[in-house]
Structure 1
Amino acid sequence: MDLHSAIKETQCAIDLVLNNKFSEALDLLQPWRRDSMYHALGYSTIRVMMANDHGELQVAMATLNDALDTCQRFRKTHSIFGSLFSIVFKQLNPQEEEMHAEICYAECLLLKAVLTFHDENVISLIKGGLNIRRSYGIFQDCQKVMNSSEDKVSSSDLFRQFEGGVKLGIGSFNLMLSLLPHRILRLLAFIGYSGNRDFGLSQLREVASSCTLRSELGTLTLLLYHTYTNLIMGTGEVDVAGADALLEPLHQKYPNSSMSLFFSARISALKGNFEKAMSGYEECIGSQQELIQIHHMCYWELMWCRSYQQNWTQAYRYADLLCKESKMSKAMHVYQKAAILSMMSEDEVAETGENLVELFRQVEGLKQCVAGKSIPAEKFAIRKSRRYNATKPVRLVIPALEIMYMWNSFDILGKRADFTEALLVTVEKAEETLCSDPDPSEFHADDSCLVQMLKGVCLKHLDRLPQAELCFTQVLSSEHRIRYDHYLVPFTLFELSLLCKQRGDVTEATAHMEKAKGKYKHYSMEDRLHFRIHACNAQQPQVNESPASTPPSSGYF
């Protein structure tokens, strides 16, 4: 199996995967996976994609270890004499097979790091971090080789394939690191990490537009960034047109691919066309039955589309499917199901046969860890559900809308004024209920502030800025009365900052943003807010691209 044939056969496997033929792709790659680096990489990658429980994750880890061994046999050997010879004569001229082995090895290390983080211990965290560091270092070395190669070498097809791997790795690392807040990047800069979002995006675009083995993976990485990462960890401003342009050639080449169908539905949802999106997700579910994770992602999206419509019965249906089928973040799935049930009438809850109090009480016992650390969203769900552990449980107020806000879904919902108005009515009903409560609980002030913040967010998306500002100001003036949900104040300051920016008052917007960033610590979902604040800062062109440099404090807008 020579390198040309290996790449060609792995491309056939990618085509099979994107045509929903996952088992056929594995059968194609399996015979050569211990003798060909590309077969080994492709086979282990598909195994990782299809892993849905602990047993399958262990099988995927074993295939990755085998893949690393296979790649290692093709890597350049570094004897003491050879290393000295290279230093003296400044030679950096690996053979093509060795160059490809480095890229494949780095990609396998990165996949192994991702799987390692599922183990709940500190040693796994250290191992995963070291593997990421090694992977990044190999990509950087390969980038030097790519940049130093002569034109006659770079014109070969094998070199273009190598170049695609380098750009995918370097682009992904730069994009990923650019999302991190500056306080983290300053620390990472000391061990050689740096991230530039524009450079990362340009590298990934070059891969996506190339006719190489990794072009489809470059496209999917960009689609994931535009349709998810940039929304959840950013300001909510999504480049829908850019995502559409990326998806078009992929959809034409693989019209029935579950992945292209999924992203097509996601883009429809981002445009506010929830009806078309739901139809697309249902089509995606029916397109294949092997990659169950795609089904779970569709259930998640269908749950939210129904929640935007306040069709809580149908939203519950998909939340229940996630609880029964998905092995990931069971605590969050159970909490979301209970939160959706909380939006329904007592008769509707009774029809489901669910015990709302017992559901909330299950949440804490389902907690999972990644790399030995609790998942922030699960910690938030556990704190909220503890209200039901008391002898006399205190009902949560509009918890489904609170979770919707945490996932930045109001920026999607805001595309539809009719749905936003309907949601505002629900919030105002909750406000009336709290105001007329004859026996306020110890959570009354927290609940009132939550309702005011969500009311302000709805009004902001409806361009009723003066009314929205009054709601936000009311939360800030009640800060001393909040006993448990301390996240409400910094998040409200962030929303008020965006409102000020919307009406053109940049100075006041910056002041609120600085206060949200610097004054408050150790509250729920703190990292998520810092990611969003960092994204606001990243909207401004940076004078110095070094992550170690301190950004100007007034650079948010």
Structure 2
Amino acid sequence: MAGKTKPVTAGDKPDTIDDAELALEGINMLLNNGFKESDDLFKAHRNHSPLMSFGASFVSFLNAMMTFEEEKMQTAFEDLKATERLCESENAGVIETIKNKLKRNVDSQRSWLAMLNRLQRQIIIADCQVYLAVLSFIKQELSAYIKGGWLLRKAWKMYNKCYSDITHLQEGGQRRPSDAQGSASPTPSSRSQQSLGDTPADTPAPVPAPVPAPGRVPDAGHSEALDRLKGSVSFGYGLFHLCISMVPPHLLKIVNLLGFPGDRLQGLAALAYASESKDMKAPLATLALLWYHTVVQPFFALDGADTQAGLLEAKDILQRREPVYPNSSLFMFFKGRVQRLEGLISHALTSFSNALELATDQREIQHVCLYEIGWCSMIELSFTDAYRAFERLKSESRWSQCYYAYLTGVCQGASGDLEGAAAVLKDVQRLFKRKNNQIELFSLKRAEKLRKPRPSKDLCSLAVIEVLYLWKALANCSVPKLQTMIQILQGIEDASCAGLKHLLLGAIHRTLHNTKDAIQHFQLAERDEVGCLSNSYVQPYSCYEVACVLLDSPEAAERGRALMLQAKEEYAGYDFENRLHVRIHSALASTRAEAPQ
């Protein structure tokens, strides 16, 4: 591991530096809360190689993403462009060198090195284009979106080409020894390749990379370098597949027309391969897998309604990586996420608090920890602790002060501080900035309704339970807390939110496995006509919930699929429509996969 490598100082001779190993060490430093040390290491060696230049640019980019400060984003942009220019300027010479070597059929060793360097630079260029696209998207301007999309398309083409070339070279290197020596046991790299799968159907046939000398197989060092490069490209390749697979279904056809694939399993396999490699992006691939298993999968219900799916994988990753990252605030954060999903809320609060302390110089990591502390407090119905966490986010975070103000207000009102809640809910309108953001629009509408004429403890409590439902956190609540929620909801008599009340009661009963009561409440919610204007999502979500219950029963599965399609096709223009469509798409795909062939 890179953590065992003696740190290299700026005074060392360049030819003594293993840049791949040093880059991995720098990333490991960063993840163990050594942000400054990592930055210093990469800056000291950024002119040594394209890889170290990219490492320095990546740290600069990460710093910009953690602060959203304009000056740092501009610095990151310039650093990434400098790395991109460095790689592009050397690529042409490398390709010409390869051609010359092939023509002369001499010096195979140098030809291999030149080819590996070319692949490394192309992967780095693609990485730079992805991060430049992210910086463009942050501007939230039409021209920036167009530019960002163009950069992503360029990056995908390069990832796809490099992935195909490296796979072709690996397969060629694995076949030739068996041709010459008869049957041979598979190498570790071949086993990894088998687990990763073949090049996907939507990938063009691999373009043969220039093999330096016909019939020659790369030596062990070159094979290891290919494995590392496969890990390097698999990070970007896998993220593309994974992220595109989560695009709302109605946008998926457009995205696919632009040339982006979206195979979730292929993406996960590529990230798993990358996470086990010796490339500097291996730790980042590990974090991406943890993010998927503990945040994305349970939130979007990508494997049905089971929020426990993926927890075993996440726990295994954390257990194996703990010796390498003993002081990592990020790994401690994901440990808390696992504990929260397991319903171990007190343990999760401890982990998030520890992560908060470890991230003393990393404000954005502190903020995600505070966010989770607020959520765990809501799950425990500890409204005072919850609103204090969200209040700090409202003051410090630059992400969505409007949303944090809403969470602060409803938790403060649920705690009984109605005057404080009224003041904060009034702030929501002032902090509302992103008119196309669904969460902020929802927060604004709800805040306006709650504060006119004035907030009440019951309706603020209803609002907290509603948020727990919409963010799929009811499954993390203990039975006593769920029963307390039922009592709160049953005491609410406001006719304008009768449908919402029944939807939430149905969801709680479903969580408690009271199927009959759940269906009854969902059906009452779906029939509510009075509150459908102010709570527009209640009817389609109720229809979806009934469908989910029916899909759990083989004899009612067909009726469940029909209701699922009804929820998808008969309703439009409601809050969190895309979110529900993703869940419906996943549920229908799951039923098709389980159907007998």
| TM-score normalised over the length of structure 2 | 0.80
Residue 423 of structure 2, aligned match among 358, 379, 384: 358
Which residue pairs with 1:177 in the alignment? 244
Aligned counterparts, 1:523-542, within 5 A:
523-540=574-591
* 1:39 maps to amino acid: M
Sort the Cα spacing of 1:385 and 1:148 in 2 relative to 1 into closer, same or farther, 3 A: same
Instruction: Quote the Cα distance in structure 2 between the aligned partners of 1:17 and 1:109.
Output: 22
Q: Quick one: structure 1 residues 481 and 357, their matched pair in 2 at CA, closer, same or farther if it must change by over 3 Å? A: closer
Amino acid across the alignment from 1:325: E
Alignment of 1:35-74 (within 5 A): 36-50=49-63, 51-55=66-70, 56-74=72-90
Matched residue type, 2:541: F
Q: In the alignment, what sits opposite 1:508? A: 559
Asked whether the equivalents of residues 342 and 399 of structure 1 are also in contact (C-alpha less than 8 Å), the reply is: no
Q: Is the 8 A contact 1:167 1:204 kept in 2?
A: yes
Q: Does residue 292 of structure 2 align to residue 225 of structure 1?
A: yes
Q: In the alignment, what sits opposite 1:265?
A: 336
Do structure 1's residue 216 and structure 2's residue 231 form an aligned pair?
no
Residue type of the partner of 1:338? G
Match status 1:427 vs 2:492: no
* Letter matched to residue 358 of structure 1: A
The share of aligned pairs that are identical, in percent, is 22
- Worse-matched range after superposition: 149-158 or 159-168: 149-158
Identify if the C-alpha distance between structure 1 residues 206 and 254 changes in structure 2 by more than 3 Å, giving closer, same or farther.
same
- Name structure 1 gaps, 5 residues minimum: 87-91, 435-443, 543-553
Distance 2:229 2:89 in 1: 18
TM-superposition CA deviations, 1:425-464 (whole Å, max 9, x none): 222223xx43xxxxxxxxx43x111111001100011111
1:206-242 Cα deviation digits (max 9, x unpaired): 2222333322222111100000011222245332111
1:396-427 per-position Cα deviation (integer Å, ceiling 9, x unaligned): 552122122221112322xx322222222222
The alignment partner of 1:210 has SS state of: coil
255, 267, 284: which is aligned to 1:188? Answer: 255
The Cα of 1:78 is off from its aligned counterpart by: 10
- Are residue 381 (structure 1) and residue 432 (structure 2) matched? no
Higher relative contact order (CA 8 A, sep 6+): 1
SS at match of 2:566: helix
Matched, 1:30 2:81: no
CA distance in 1, matches of 2:137, 2:305: 28
Cα separation, partners in 2 of 1:480 and 1:418, compared to 1, 3 Å: closer
| Separation (CA, whole Å) in 1 of partners of 2:82 and 2:430 | 36
Distance verdict in 2 for CA 1:154–1:193, change over 3 Å: farther
Is 1:10 the equivalent of 2:23?
Answer: yes
Task: Note the C-alpha offset of 1:73.
Answer: 2.7
Shift of 1:337: 0.7
Partner AA of 2:123 in structure 1:
I
CA distance in 2, matches of 1:214, 1:405: 35
Decide which moves more: 465-474 or 144-153: 144-153
Q: Is the CA contact 1:236–1:408 (under 8 Å) kept in the aligned structure 2?
A: no
8 A contact 1:179–1:534 mirrored in 2: no
Task: Tell me: CA distance 1:240–1:63, structure 2 relative to 1, closer, same or farther (3 Å).
Answer: same
- For 1:25 and 1:513, locate their aligned partners in 2 and report how far apart those are by CA, in whole Å: 50
Q: Which residue is equivalent to 1:407?
A: 471
Structure-1 separation of matches of 2:352 and 2:575:
31
What is the aligned-residue RMSD (CA, Å)? 2.8
> How many angstroms apart in 1 are the aligned matches of 2:241 and 2:391?
38
**Secondary structure in 2 matching 1:374:** coil
Match of 1:121 among 141, 149, 159: 141
Cα contact 2:522–2:546 (8 A) shared by 1? yes
Could you say which residue in structure 1 is the equivalent of 2:505? 455
CA change 1:412–1:72 in 2 (3 A) is farther
User: Is the 2:20–2:279 contact (alpha carbons within 8 Å) kept by the matching residues of 1?
Assistant: no
How far the C-alpha of 1:163 sits from its partner, in A, is 0.7
Alignment of 1:137-176 (within 5 A): 137-149=157-169, 150-151=172-173, 152-153=217-218, 155=220, 156=222, 157-176=224-243
Instruction: Read off the aligned partner of 1:168 and give its amino acid letter.
Output: F
In 1, Cα distance between the equivalents of 2:325 and 2:531?
A: 56
In terms of mean alpha carbon deviation, does 211-220 or 195-204 score higher?
Answer: 211-220
Q: TM-score of the superposition, structure 1-length normalised?
A: 0.86
1:473 to 523, 543, 558: 523
Q: Is the 8 A contact 2:245 2:262 kept in 1?
A: yes
Residue 280 of structure 1 corresponds to which residue in structure 2?
A: 351
Distance in 2, matches of 1:76 and 1:98, equals 9
Partner residue, 1:499: 549
CA distance in 2, matches of 1:465, 1:332: 33
CA distance 1:144–1:77, change in 2 (3 Å):
farther
Bigger Cα Rg? 2
Q: Residues 375 and 169 (structure 1 numbering): CA distance in 2 closer, same or farther, change over 3 Å?
A: same
Cα deviation, residue 251, structure 1: 1.2
CA displacement at 1:522 relative to structure 2? 1.3
Match of 1:367 in 2: 432
For 1:17 and 1:218, locate their aligned partners in 2 and report how far apart those are by CA, in whole Å.
Answer: 14
Paired with 1:289 and 1:305, the residues of 2 have a C-alpha distance of 21
Q: Residue 138 of structure 2 aligns to a residue in which SS?
A: coil
What's the CA shift for 1:154?
A: 8.3
Q: CA contact under 8 A between 1:154 and 1:160: conserved in structure 2?
A: no
CA distance in 2, matches of 1:381, 1:146: 48
Aligned to 1:549: none
Letter in 2 for 1:132: L
- Give 3-state SS (helix, strand or coil) of 2:491's partner: helix
**Matches of 1:214 and 1:102, distance apart in 2:** 15
* 1:171–1:203 contact (8 Å) kept in structure 2: yes
